[in-house]
Structure 1
Amino acid sequence: MTLKMPDKDKTEEKQDEVKKESTRKPFEGIANIVNLSPREIERLNSKLIDAVKGGNKEDVEGLLKMGASVNAKEEYGITALMYACARGYKEIADLLISVGADVDAKDIDGMTALMYASKNRQKECVELLIANNADVNAKDIDGFTALMYASARGYTEIVDLLVAAKADVNAKERDGFTALMHAAIYGHKEIVEILISAGADVNAKNDFGMTALMYASKYGHTEIADILIKKGADVDAKDMNGITALIYASANGHEEIVEMLIAHNADVNAMSSERVTALSAASKYRHEKIVEILKKAGAISLGGLTYS
């Protein structure tokens, strides 16, 4: 018994079809054959957003096949990809990107999917977005970057990813704050170290003349103050009111930082524009131990009014 061999031309034709099908993007061409009204599209888009919020990948796939727009926005400009990244639905985010989701789209506040992922500590989504060339230096309407959000919240692993992706460590938001300042304010030591290693300017000032060292001194983050000083922070820098790190530390009762600043030759008699010194500030807030430390270091006590 002989078996009939398939026609060679037909076999090759079939192989070509399989090859074409394998290179086609998911859902490519499906929506194009459906004639949808604007109202129907709007309904599908709304359902798509809801499906993403609920983490339902199958529904997301189905709605995309039916013609939902992958870049549709809600009232506040939030896209399906932003929701997926904010909630950590990496597979859904990957699907959306594969069919053309704009990784750099912004909502009405200027937030991007990368900012949402960074702000919500969604590491896998941050990795996915970076791998798909999301702008790591995009800014929202307040000038915040993904790196600033991660630095302020203490998300070390997110900061690592963003720094490795060449995020600008010296970018400033609307009021001149840097990622380093945010990390110093909230006491995130590891992030301070990462940012400095990546080239963060330890002497950068915001619009109020404040430096990272001033914030560390004001809020009592001793280890961070130590790191900043050792990395070259100016111990005598003044803010817009002439206040130094030593005055901030003295006013807020942070003895260790006061001693540290003095040990690094901070000016114990520096005076603000309102004639406040470290000694007068410590006296006002009754930090007696600091008063003693300052006097031993040569601080002059003249009622905070006249100085030689």
Structure 2
Amino acid sequence: MGARRMLIIGAVAAALLTMTACTAAPHSSLPTQEAAMTDATRDLLTAAAAGDASAVEQALNAGAEIEAQGSGGMTALVAATKGNHVDAARALITAGADVNAKDDIQDSAYLYAGARGHDDILLLTLENGADLTSTNRFGGTALIPASERGLLSTVEILLEAGVDPNHVNNLNWTALHEAIVLGDGSSTYVDVVRALIGGGADVGIPDGDGVLPVDLAKARGYDAVVAELER
């Protein structure tokens, strides 16, 4: 009876797994299912991902749905931005694409351009309604990953635009914390720290463990960063 009981339990478990898979909700980020897309909309998504601005315009003129979501929940604009296809992104934004529309992993054209230093596209989004308070999947503004990656020109653009330098993300870090903890203390990061402080970053905000930025820098031997923080 023991063996039979195990077989029954196994069969029930397998059936439950099958039922769960069959009844799972459709992908929430694809309100426009690809099977229901028009040819023009499919052409738009393909052209945007390839960076073909001319084909983007042709698809839009043919009636493509500009906010349709394809692979990964990406709109055409997000796809163009992730490829750093400036002309395609410009064509989409000019046609009214939402610069704040997010994909499955909470990337928008604005957030991704800021995080990756795609400054030409970033400026386009800022000129066309970018939400400076918008946050990524880590609860951070565009300024935080830009600081983490040492993208000085991007940091300066975002600060000039008015992004809050003291926003705290889900890791309890500000842009200043990330520039120190995830940076390497090189001259690039010294410049980023200087820009952040000049842009209003509060050197007195501790991380989630109560450690101040200057102490984080000292612990890593980043003397030049320490000097900027102690000015």
TM range (shorter): 0.7 to 0.9
Which residue pairs with 2:222 in the alignment?
Answer: 254
Give the CA RMSD over aligned residues.
1.9
Q: 1:222 to 1:70 in 2, by over 3 A?
A: same
CA distance in 1, matches of 2:120, 2:71: 28
Q: 1:148 aligns with which of 107, 111, 119?
A: 111
Structure 2 residue 193 is the aligned partner of structure 1 residue 230: no
Which residue pairs with 2:174 in the alignment?
Answer: 211
Structure 2 residue 72 is the aligned partner of structure 1 residue 114: no
Q: 1:251 to 1:107 in 2, by over 3 A?
A: farther
- Provide the secondary structure at the position in 1 that maps to 2:72: coil
Q: Contact 1:202–1:228 at 8 Å: present in 2 too?
A: yes
Q: 1:69 aligns with which of 39, 43, 46?
A: 39
Runs of 4+ in 1 over 6 A off after TM superposition: none
Structure 2 residue 101 is the aligned partner of structure 1 residue 138: yes
The code of the aligned residue for 1:257 comes to V
With normalisation by structure 2, the TM-score equals 0.78
Structure 2 residue 88 is the aligned partner of structure 1 residue 125: yes
CA distance in 2, matches of 1:116, 1:244: 38
CA distance in 1, matches of 2:179, 2:137: 21
The code of the aligned residue for 2:90 comes to E
Deviation of 1:253 (Å): 2.2
Which residue pairs with 1:193 in the alignment?
Answer: 156
Q: 2:128 aligns with which of 121, 140, 165?
A: 165
The code of the aligned residue for 1:179 comes to A
CA distance in 2, matches of 1:182, 1:80: 32
Q: Contact 1:148–1:182 at 8 Å: present in 2 too?
A: no
How big is each residue's C-alpha offset from its partner over 1:154-196, in whole Å with a ceiling of 9 and x where there is no partner? 1111111111112112211122011001110111111111111
With normalisation by structure 1, the TM-score equals 0.59
Say how many residue pairs are matched. 192
Structure ranking higher in helix proportion: 2
Deviation of 1:248 (Å): 2.2
Unaligned runs of 5+ in 2: 1-33
Please identify the structure whose Cα radius of gyration is greater: 1
CA distance in 1, matches of 2:129, 2:190: 29
Deviation of 1:246 (Å): 1.5
Q: How does 1:43-62 map to 2 (within 5 A)?
A: none
CA distance in 1, matches of 2:153, 2:178: 16
The code of the aligned residue for 2:107 comes to F
Which residue pairs with 2:25 in the alignment?
Answer: none
Deviation of 1:108 (Å): 5.0
CA distance in 2, matches of 1:147, 1:239: 26
Deviation of 1:117 (Å): 0.9
- Structure with more relative contact order (C-alpha pairs < 8 Å, separation 6 or more): 2
CA distance in 1, matches of 2:145, 2:103: 16
